[in-house]
Structure 1
Amino acid sequence: MRVTPTKKLAKRAKLNIFMFVEIAIAFASMAFAFSYLDLIRSGAADFITEEIIYLSIIFAFTALLVTALGITGMQLIMVLHRRSEIGLHRAVGATGLDIMRLILKDTLLLILSPALVGVGVGIWISLLFSIVNTGLETHIDFVFILKITLSLLLFTFLCGLVPAIKAIRMDPAVVLSKHVAVVKKPVSKRPLRKIATIAFYSMIALIFVACIFVNHSLEAAYQDDVVNSSGPPPATTQRVPAFSFVNGEGKVISSDSLHYKSYCLLIGAVDCPGNSIMLNELSKHVAAGLLESTDIYAIHIDSPIGASIDAIEKYLRENNFSVAAYIDYEKSTEWAFNVSSLPALYIINEDGIITARFLGWSEYEMEYLRDSLLKRNTD
């Protein structure tokens, strides 16, 4: 069956798009991992943050390995297509170093554009994570740029090394010989490319399985280290620290005014996805009769976009959350509770003692919250 030029172009375009996306994903994951490495070195990362960083490093390494196989395969095919040109270069006096420089330059041109796009996406994702989770602090500086540049050059060298050696070992006399039917000789069916494709989808499957295991480990961490620990934020059995905030009418509400009252204190932000999940869970408990809406104080700290009390009321109303709107302009609550991750939920009894706390959210915490409220209502 004869392949038309149009089909050849379409097939080549499809291959180029696939390779572009693959390289971009690999470098995006690498940039994301690099931006958080300083947290691990400094010891500032908590267990959950370390799990996220380690998972991104594993994903980046696997993606780079699979992508390297694909690029090496494509460059080997390119060497076969350009063997006459390479043979001519060798015949007129080009050295092995000249040929290697030629192949590495072509490899760099293939990698550069998608790599830059991937790095940009990785930086954007890391900055987004820093906004929605204050436990993650990204570091984009000169050292980060230097790491990315050196990684790009090393990756290019490794991808182009095997094709360059293949090109250097070509005998110009044989390649240019009239007895070698260069044009009629069939080209490889891209065995390395097929292997790389299979490996790429295998990588996605492995990452999916890894996420399941990491999720189970995070659930255990929440139970042992987050819900019942006595870390820097106030923990269970401790007295609630002094705090104050204002409601929509400008009325100041403080910890002193809430004495002799059992209540839930939720510290979050409009732009925090976990905050929506926690508010939705609290609204379910209000509907089930486990909570009164007046027992919930959902305090929104001033967000990066400068949320106003009107914006927060609109946010709660549009999402049908059964809580009132409050905002902590002075960040008194955030400082009092040493909030390092959002949302942070505290259940406080009539004596001002914290009976349960939740830093972040998980499926385990949702169950723990329901059990805590059931126990609170039966006591």
Structure 2
Amino acid sequence: MITSWATRLSSASVRQDIIERTDEIPLFVEEMTKAVLETKSEGEARRTTGNIPSPAAAVPASLHASLMARLDQLGPAKEVAQIGSAIGREFSHTLLFSVASKPEPELASALDRLISAGLLFRQGVPPYSSYLFKHALVQDAAYGTLLRRRRQELHARVATALEQHFADLVDRQPEILAHHLTRAGQAERASDQWLKAGQFAASRSAYAEAVSHFDRGLSLLSSLLDAQRDRQEIKLQLAKGVSLSNANGFSSAEAAKAHARAHELSDKIGDIDSQFTAIWGLWTFRRTSDWNAARQLSDRLLSLIEKGNNVGLRLEAHHMGWTTHFFCGELAPAQEHCEKGRTLYEFEQHRTHAHIYGHDPGVCARTLGAWSAWLLGYPDTCSAMAAAPVRASAPPG
């Protein structure tokens, strides 16, 4: 005897309706088939398929409605699905437990129901398990049922849990915390975390990713107070400019634009350190096409460092000096600046300059110093520089 569900699916018209109205999208085919199997007669099955809009352009909305209906049938498990959707497409049991604030038996029961309903996959054994929404559309459907205030509350709780209990994850993937702070409406903290995420990406030479993170941080600044906004924008624009230079070359007009904006703001608030870094970025751009303009910027920086005792800034001013003189064919002053740079450079103190200014000044001073010595007719000096230990001027490892 043919079972009732087999009878309903044996109808050619029902099967054809499922195929046509789901546009053969696998997840939608499955959702539609489940809906048909839950009917009590072939007539009801046909009405169910008939309620799905056609043509295929309407499929995404229909699929979303189908998933929403399934979530509504889950009772308390729906809330767990919502919490998981705020965490992400994939999440760990321990993080969910930290955010949900539910007794373990209650949480386990809800998760089992979501898995039985085919909305979640589980890998491993609780509490060492992880969960994955069957499809991004399932996550979206669960997330879409949350009111704005509830979403912000959940993202704030996720951010707190990450900071308190998952420091290693935040260190490895700082953009995760940045995302949740952004969704929580905490613009100031989120912007700063996007800066950290971009700096982390840049340290791994993932410059396109870094620029994307910096742009996310910049997009949040409108809600900050003026002085606070200017200082944060300077940091983001400077970091973005360096990553754009490294990604697209020193002639990058976008990098120059970022440094020009940072220079404008640093002049406005009188921040010498930021002025210095912004001028450095503009010099980097100018030296690709106009060495006279580059020389003026270099001289300005050498003048600027006279106002303070910052060894790092003095090192980078000489860095610009030796590069400018060398490529203008002025070898003696270039070598003089290289000597001063090597004297000032300390690996542990100045290793971060590679990420701030684009490359390591210790390596550059040793290289251009050796080239200058060779071209000036001192091959022994050149050889000695080339053979010297590089630890003192090695780039960050």
TM-score, length-scaled by structure 1: 0.22
TM-score, length-scaled by structure 2: 0.22
Q: Which has the higher strand share?
A: 1
If asked which structure has higher relative contact order (CA below 8 Å, sep 6+), I would say 1
Q: Which has the higher helix share?
A: 2
